[in-house]
Amino acid sequence: MTTYRISQLAERSGVPATTLRFYEDAGLLLAERTPSGYRVYGEDAVDRLAFISSAKLLGLALDEIRELLDVREEGVCASVRARMLPLVADRITQTDDRITELRAFSGHLTGVHAELSGPAPAGACGPDCGCTTTGKEAAGPVPVTLSPTRLGNSAEQWRDVPVACTLDGAELGERTELWRQVVGKAEGREEIPDGVRLSFPTGAELAGEVAALAAAEQGCCAFFDFTLHLTPTAFQLEVRAPEPAAGILADLFGATA
């Protein structure tokens, strides 16, 4: 019977050792211990990790993946499918809701951008200059939240999520570079409780880029909480994280142009 040390399993599966430890703590991956205390995994760990990775790509929560793994252990594919179907249906509904929300946000940004692109009036700003939106939008920012709560979990569950990223080394480097490019376009940075608020110039394309990147980040690092706010002259990204992730927060969002 083939067995793997944690470094060997990480190399075979492409899953970082830190993530393997996280999966073990979360009850998703089983490990035995040698007399000297080293983790040892069985051959089934490779297939189990492939299933976990696949389930995460579907946006399933860890408790749902754990339940599916229990069903999978019974050895009946039909049972696994029967449990997966309603979970995937829920994700379709949630994704459609998010798409609708982001389209509305993008549409509003486009309208503001078009208004600001026209000829400016002479003199100071006025009620009809376009710098201040009218109607119900004038009451305050338009928020778009991208956080675990959007996935059906309880409010502020991100505070209790283990600080672990499921990206491998190459993916992590690429994602970090994408964030640095986006953060470099920010015009302002403000400290807020548990995080930071970045301000960007109004633009539908940039807002969509930031929203898509935030959604992707939340998919691999559930300890982040993202909220987008549309204001009359700009849009803002609020990023929050629990105390153990303060270093990661500062590394990704600590510098602006």
pLDDT tens per residue across span 75-100: 999 999 999 999 999 888 877 877 77
The per-residue pLDDT for 102 is 73
Q: Is the pTM of this model over 0.75?
A: no
At residue 209, φ and ψ (nearest 5 deg) are -65, -45
Same domain, 147 and 76: no
Distance from C-alpha of 215 to C-alpha of 219, rounded to nearest angstrom: 6
Within a domain: 93:
no
Q: At 50, list the tokens.
A: 């492939």
Within a domain: 92:
no
Asked whether the predicted pLDDT for residue 138 surpasses 70, the reply is no
Nearest to 248 by CA among 190, 182, 185, 195: 195
Q: How confident is the model at residue 136 (pLDDT cuts 50, 70, 90)?
A: very low
Distance from C-alpha of 16 to C-alpha of 10, rounded to nearest angstrom: 5
* Interstrand relation of 32-33 and 3-5 (parallel, antiparallel or unpaired): unpaired
Nearest to 42 by CA among 75, 12, 72: 12
DSSP state of 76: -
Taking only the tens place, the pLDDT of each residue in 31-45 is: 888 888 888 998 889
Same domain, 39 and 125: no
Same domain, 57 and 157: no
Percentage, residues of the chain above pLDDT 70: 84
The per-residue pLDDT for 255 is 45
Q: Contact at 8 Å (CB) between 186 and 253?
A: no
Q: Where are the beta strands (DSSP E) in 101-224?
A: 142-146, 188-192, 195-201
Task: Tell me which residue range forms the domain holding 73.
Answer: 3-85
DSSP state of 59: T
Q: What is the CATH number of the domain that holds 45?
A: 1.10.1660.10
Distance from C-alpha of 230 to C-alpha of 112, rounded to nearest angstrom: 10
Residue position matching structure tokens 């939008």? 137
Q: Contact at 8 Å (CB) between 185 and 206?
A: yes
Q: Contact at 8 Å (CB) between 233 and 202?
A: yes
Same domain, 17 and 41: yes
Asked whether the predicted pLDDT for residue 5 surpasses 80, the reply is yes
Distances from the Cα of 145 to the Cα of 33, 155, 239, angstroms: 42, 12, 10
Higher pLDDT, 204 or 107: 107
| CA 168 from centre of chain | 16
Asked whether the predicted pLDDT for residue 149 surpasses 60, the reply is no
SS3 content of the chain, % helix, strand, coil (to 5): 55, 15, 30
Total structural domains in the chain?
A: 2
User: Could you say which of 85, 109, 136 is where a domain stops?
Assistant: 85
Q: How confident is the model at residue 157 (pLDDT cuts 50, 70, 90)?
A: low
Within a domain: 90:
no
Q: How confident is the model at residue 153 (pLDDT cuts 50, 70, 90)?
A: very low
Distance from C-alpha of 165 to C-alpha of 186, rounded to nearest angstrom: 25
DSSP state of 221: -
